[in-house]
Amino acid sequence: MTETVLDQAHAAMLATPEDDAKRLRFFERLGDAELFLLLEAEAQGEQITPQVFDPGSGPLVLVFDREDRLALFVGAEAPYAALSGRIIAGLLAEQGLGLGLNLDVAQSSFLLDADGVQWLARTLGNGPDEVEARLAEVSAPTGLPEMLISAVDTKLATATGLAQIAYLVGTTDTDGVRSHMLAFVGAAPGAEGALTRAASEALTFSGIDAGAMDVGFFEANDPVTQRLARVGLRFDLPQPAPVRSPEPAAPGMDPDRPPRLR
């Protein structure tokens, strides 16, 4: 069976258990992944009822990163909800439930108790403070660890259609304060929150315990955009395929209207 992104991140974490950065990277991949949550019955509108198990360490639900892995565990087709790990963590944290990933069907089998789920939900929910500053200068980014640049690149590879381009630059504001900024060009309407969270998670899960990274939004015709292009480290965000006829939205597809657990 082909390895998944979670398989690879889990294996890297186990290979060097003392490496906090690889442990954080696994949890970042868990939050980003589409997971298949095992249900008791088919979803009813926006309400879902997951199967809850208690192996002795507290109640938990089961998720799988492939549909065939869920079917292999159950031994037959079974109802499920396909949701991001981020949404699942938030739902489980509200209910005090733990999480079991790929149990008995993959090497990435992993248990996260209720306290761990609470931590993951809080970490994924952290966002940067909003600050307003006037830029006096933008420059090439310097002194940033390769680990952070790789984390930004990986995170933005999942941000399909949310913006056209991003530039990582050094900045100096009118008070002389130096920082770094991830500048998005051509953000889709309403995508600012998701892009800000993506930048924040890249910093959090990179394992870098120093500094901060601001986030900015610009249009292609803004005068500063040309300066960003000259000095910035460029990231091209993937763009969606041509739009097809709309289909009914499945539970959890709208991040602003997550499903409700029963």
Query: Quick check: is 232 in a domain?
Result: yes
Q: Give residues with Cβ within 8 angstroms of 247, minimum separation 6.
A: none
142 and 61 in one domain? no
- Signed CA dihedral, 64, 67, 72, 76: sign only: positive
Long-range contact set of residues 153-159: C-beta below 8 Å, sequence gap at least 24: 153/235, 154/202, 155/28, 155/32, 155/198, 155/199, 155/201, 155/202, 156/198, 156/202, 156/235, 156/237, 157/237, 157/238, 158/32, 158/198, 159/194, 159/195, 159/198, 159/237, 159/238
pLDDT, position 85? 92
148 and 114 in one domain? no
Confidence of residue 208 (pLDDT cuts 50, 70, 90): low
pLDDT digits (tens, 9 = 90+) for 138-180: 999 988 888 889 889 999 998 999 999 999 999 998 888 888 8
Distance between CA atoms of residues 235 and 121, nearest Å: 27
151 and 103 in one domain? no
Paired strand residues for 138: 171
105 and 157 in one domain? no
70 and 47 in one domain? yes
CATH code of the domain in which 182 resides: 3.30.70
Q: Please tell me the least confidently modeled range out of 102-106, 142-146, 155-159, 248-252.
A: 248-252
pLDDT higher than 80, residue 133: no
- For residue 10, what are the domain limits? 5-125
Query: Using an 8 Å Cβ cutoff, are 33 and 83 in contact?
Result: no
Last residue of a domain, one of 72, 104, 125: 125
158 and 46 in one domain? no
pLDDT higher than 80, residue 70: yes
Last residue of a domain, one of 125, 155, 170: 125
163 and 140 in one domain? yes
Looking at the structure of the chain, the number of domains it has is: 2
Which residue has tokens 């949310």? 162
83 and 149 in one domain? no
Which residue has tokens 């008995």? 104
pLDDT digits (tens, 9 = 90+) for 5-63: 999 999 999 999 888 888 988 998 999 899 999 999 988 777 899 999 998 889 999 99
